[in-house]
Structure formats: structure tokens, C-alpha cells
């Protein structure tokens, strides 16, 4: 892929994941108002979030199969159109169960986009720039979360209007990708040569003898990392307000600082991974997160909490690194399915994290629950330790080096 095309792919993926973040975060920010507007109790409100996470959890199978069978470009456009249109439609829904069903379907697009973005970049960028490009695209989530927070600040309690605008604005990445982002040469070449694409990709293939180790270890690593991430991020605001005395008004500033730290960290560690190796940097990211979370928990002064929060978020760089690393574990014809399964299966399991921590907090304390999350990060690092530094793709697969013939064009 030429130099111009790879940058179009990166820009398109960044914009797409930016809106993915807005749609995911927006529901959490709007939930108190939605509950009041639709007269929902706390358990019914929680079901809306659960429906989204369940959709995200199974998205890897459906979106991954679609991307590996019909192409990365078509799959990305389908995911965007799916969650964009359903978000706009949700603005007119009054029934809880219809809302849940539509939010589950929306989750299929929201979750499926991660694997498509990771694979799109893996097949469009050279190996020595792949981690930084993937991390930059995934870091759009932090910017999208800030944008969603700002939108909520100025538009709530008019959540229905906010959903219409958020859903409608997804047309921006749709148009960009439709006109300027091409299909990847690796997928087109595999399709043309009929390399295992005579039949549709199936989930059983990522559990074949050649790939089962990568799938099991990758899924386990992502599951523990995301259990720690969602558990900590769900209960940290409550912990800071109840046990460290932060005011509710300061939480918006806290969230903004947290996301800025995460944005910087994703891009720093992505650059570092291209220099010393993806596996090494994933382990560094997870171990540093393991250390920083307890340090953060036991800080007491407000200013210290604010800036330590940014440092803690700085080390949470594994989402982008997983994208670059997992994409290299699988051959072209099951690459999106395999990489997406590892990450999104972990996302699905992470739906249990808030419940697990609430149980620990009931019997012990929130601090104890957050310490368990630190342990999850460490377990994930240990699992990654047993995975290869440079994964070897199936020998019949097309070489994952999109610009090997034109390396002089890459800068």
C-alpha cells in the first residue's frame, strides 16, 4: 500500500474509533437521566449497560467473520452504519426491552470495530511502524470519551437530542472511509488466490492445532487485563468521592485528566513497541499499571490524586498494543476473527468485573476490590510472558508486510 493510502487508513480508523468511543461512553453518562425519563430502577438501568457489553462480547465472531469473508472496508462501514443508525433510533424508544435489544445490536458494531481497526492497520502499515499506528488509532477512544463528556455537560438532560446528533454524525467517518480508504492488499490478494477463502472463515479455525495456543493465551491475557480495567474504572470515581473526599464537581476534571494521560500513554508505548518489541512493551505496560494502581489508591491529597490519576492512565496502553500484537498471531483469512475474539471475549467477561468488585467491597472495602484489579493486570502480564515475541504466521499465509516491495516510500 502506498504512503498516501496508509495515512488514509490511519485517519479513517482514528475517526471511526473516535465515534465508537462517543457511542459507548455516552450511554454511561446519560444513564441517570435515562433512568429518570423512562422510570427505571437501578437494576433496569444496569441492564442497558449489560446489553451493550453482551453485544460487544459476541461482536468478534460476527464482525470478525464478516471482515474476513467480505473485506475490512465493507465490515468497517457496516459497523459504523449499524451503531450510528441504532443510536439515532434509540432517541425515540420508550420501552425498556426494545431499548435493550437495540443496544445489544448496536454493541455488535461498537465491539466489532476494534478488531477491524487493528487488522486494517496491521495490513496497511509496515511492521516497524505498526504498533505506533495501531496505538494512535486506538487512542482516539480517549479523545472520544472527552468529547462525550463535553457533549453530556452541555446537552443533558436532553439525552434524546444528544443521541440523534451522535448517531447522525457517524456519517463523517462513513463518508471518509467510503471515498478515501481502500481495501487492504493482503485481503484482496488472499481472496484472489483463494487461500482458504474458498469457504467462509469459521470460529473453529482459530481453535485449530496451529492457532489454539495463540487464541487461548491471547483471550486469557485480554480477559484479565480488561477485568482489571473495567473493574477499576467502574469503581474508582466512587472510591475517590466516598473514601478520598473528592467533590462530584471535580470528577469531570478528573475524567478529562485521566483520558489525556491515557492518550499520551497509548502513543508513547506504541512508539516504544516498534523499537523494542510489542510483547515486551505490553508486559511493561501491565506491570507498571499493577504498581501504579495501589500507589494511586493510597494517595490522599486532591492534587496528588489528580496527577497520579494521569500517570496511572498513562500506563494503561495495552488496548492499542493488543491490537498490533494479536493481529500478527493469525493468518489473513481469520485475522479479524482471531484478533477480535481475543480482545472482545475479554470485554464480554469484563461485564462481570463491576459485580465482582461490588461483592468484594461489601465484605471488605473498595480499596480491597481495587487491589484485586491490580492483581488482574499482573496475571495478564504473566500470561503474555508465555507468548512469542515475534509470532509466526501460517506458512501458506500471505506475508504481513504491505510495503515490503516499496520500503523506501515508508517514513
Percent of the chain topping pLDDT 90: 51
**Lowest-confidence range among 132-141, 215-224, 254-263, 265-274?**
254-263
Residue 246 has a pLDDT of 65
Mean pLDDT for 346-352 is 76
Instruction: Check residue 252 and give its pLDDT.
Output: 64
Q: Tell which residue, 48, 104, 50, 116, has the closest CA to residue 79.
A: 116
| 11 upstream amide cis, omega within 30 of 0 | no
Q: Is 54 left (phi over 0), alpha (psi -120 to 50) or beta?
A: alpha
56 within 8 A of 110, measured Cβ to Cβ: yes
pLDDT value of position 250: 66
Q: Which CATH code fits 3-183+200-400?
A: 1.20.1250.20
pLDDT at 298: 79
pLDDT score of 375: 94
* pLDDT confidence of residue 234: 67
Q: Give yes or no for residue 351 having a pLDDT over 80.
A: no
Which of 55-69, 126-140, 268-282, 380-394 has the weakest average pLDDT?
A: 380-394
The residue with greater pLDDT, 46 or 177, is 177
- Whether 248 has a pLDDT exceeding 60, the answer reads no
* Residue 43 confidence (pLDDT): 73
Using a pLDDT cut of 70, give the percent of the chain over it.
85
Mean pLDDT of 361-366: 72
Mean of pLDDT values over 90-110: 94
Confidence at 406, pLDDT banded by 50, 70, 90: very low
Contacts of 281 by beta carbon, 8 Å cutoff, 6+ apart: 131, 269, 272, 273, 317, 321
pLDDT at 220 over 90: yes
Q: What is the pLDDT of residues 24-48, one digit of tens each?
A: 888 878 887 898 899 988 778 778 8
Which has the minimum average pLDDT: 127-141, 196-210, 268-282, 373-387?
Answer: 196-210
CA distance 313 to 265: 7
Structure confidence at residue 355 (pLDDT)? 64
Per DSSP, helices labelled H in 39-156 are 42-70, 72-90, 96-122, 130-138, 140-155
pLDDT of residue 302: 66
Top-confidence residue, 344 or 270? 270
Q: Is 344 a residue whose pLDDT tops 90?
A: no
pLDDT score for 3: 54
What's the rounded mean pLDDT across residues 332-358? Answer: 81
pLDDT at 183 exceeding the cut of 90: yes
Report pTM. 0.83
Write down the pLDDT at residue 6.
92
Segment 43-65 mean pLDDT: 84
pLDDT at 354: 62
One DSSP character per residue, 360-374 reads: HHHHS-HHHHHHHHH
* Band (398; pLDDT cuts 50, 70, 90): very low
For residue 341, what are the CA distances in angstroms to 76, 217, 311, 385, 409? 16, 12, 29, 20, 33
Give the confidence band of 200 by pLDDT, cuts at 50, 70, 90: low
Q: Domain ranges in the chain?
A: 3-183+200-400
CA distances from 397 to 63, 101, 122, 190, 193 (A): 21, 38, 14, 8, 11
Q: Which three cell numbers stand for residue 290?
A: 499493577
pLDDT of residue 195: 55
DSSP state of 166: H
Mean residue pLDDT across the chain = 85
Amino acid at each position: 500500500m502506498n504512503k498516501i493510502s496508509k495515512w488514509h487508513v490511519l485517519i479513517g480508523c482514528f475517526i471511526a474509533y473516535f465515534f465508537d468511543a462517543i457511542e459507548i461512553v455516552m450511554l454511561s453518562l446519560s444513564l441517570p437521566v435515562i433512568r429518570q425519563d423512562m422510570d427505571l430502577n437501578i437494576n433496569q438501568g444496569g441492564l442497558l449497560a449489560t446489553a451493550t457489553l453482551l453485544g460487544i462480547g459476541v461482536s468478534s465472531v460476527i464482525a470478525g467473520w464478516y471482515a474476513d469473508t467480505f473485506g475490512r472496508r465493507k465490515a468497517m462501514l457496516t459497523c459504523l452504519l449499524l451503531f450510528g443508525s441504532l443510536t439515532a433510533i434509540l432517541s425515540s424508544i420508550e420501552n425498556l426491552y426494545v431499548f435493550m435489544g437495540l443496544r445489544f445490536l448496536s454493541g455488535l458494531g461498537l465491539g466489532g470495530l476494534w478488531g477491524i481497526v487493528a487488522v486494517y492497520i496491521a495490513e496497511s502499515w509496515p511492521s516497524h511502524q505498526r504498533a505506533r499506528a495501531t496505538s494512535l488509532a486506538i487512542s482516539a477512544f480517549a479523545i472520544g470519551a472527552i468529547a462525550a463528556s463535553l457533549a453530556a455537560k452541555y446537552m443533558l438532560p436532553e439525552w434524546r437530542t444528544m443521541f440523534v446528533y451522535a448517531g447522525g454524525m457517524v456519517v463523517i467517518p462513513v463518508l471518509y472511509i467510503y471515498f478515501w480508504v481502500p481495501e487492504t492488499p493482503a485481503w484482496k490478494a488472499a481472496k484472489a488466490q483463494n487461500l482458504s477463502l474458498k469457504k467462509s472463515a469459521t470460529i473453529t479455525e482459530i481453535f485449530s492445532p496451529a492457532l489454539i495456543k495463540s487464541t487461548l493465551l491471547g483471550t486469557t491475557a485480554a480477559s484479565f487485563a480488561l477485568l482489571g480495567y473495567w473493574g477499576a474504572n467502574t469503581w474508582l470515581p466512587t472510591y475517590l468521592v466516598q473514601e478520598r473526599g473528592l467533590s462530584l464537581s471535580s470528577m469531570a476534571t478528573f475524567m478529562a485528566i485521566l483520558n489525556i494521560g491515557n492518550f499520551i500513554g497509548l502513543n508513547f508505548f506504541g512508539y516504544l513497541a516498534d523499537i523494542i518489541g510489542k510483547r515486551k512493551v505490553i508486559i511493561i505496560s501491565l506491570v507498571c499499571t499493577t504498581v501504579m494502581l495501589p500507589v494511586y489508591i493510597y494517595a490522599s491529597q486532591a492534587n496528588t490524586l489528580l496527577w497520579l490519576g494521569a500517570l496511572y492512565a498513562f500506563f494503561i496502553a495495552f488496548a492499542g498494543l493488543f491490537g498490533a500484537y494479536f493481529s500478527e498471531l493469525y493468518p489473513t483469512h481469520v485475522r479479524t476473527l482471531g484478533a477480535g475474539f481475543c480482545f472482545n471475549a475479554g470485554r464480554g467477561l469484563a461485564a462481570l468485573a463491576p459485580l465482582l468488585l461490588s461483592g468484594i467491597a461489601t465484605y471488605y472495602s473498595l480499596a480491597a476490590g481495587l487491589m484485586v484489579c491490580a492483581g488482574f493486570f499482573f496475571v495478564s502480564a504473566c500470561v503474555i510472558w508465555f507468548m512469542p515475541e515475534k509470532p509466526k504466521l501460517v506458512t501458506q499465509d500471505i506475508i504481513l508486510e504491505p510495503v515490503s516491495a516499496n520500503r523506501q516510500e515508508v517514513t
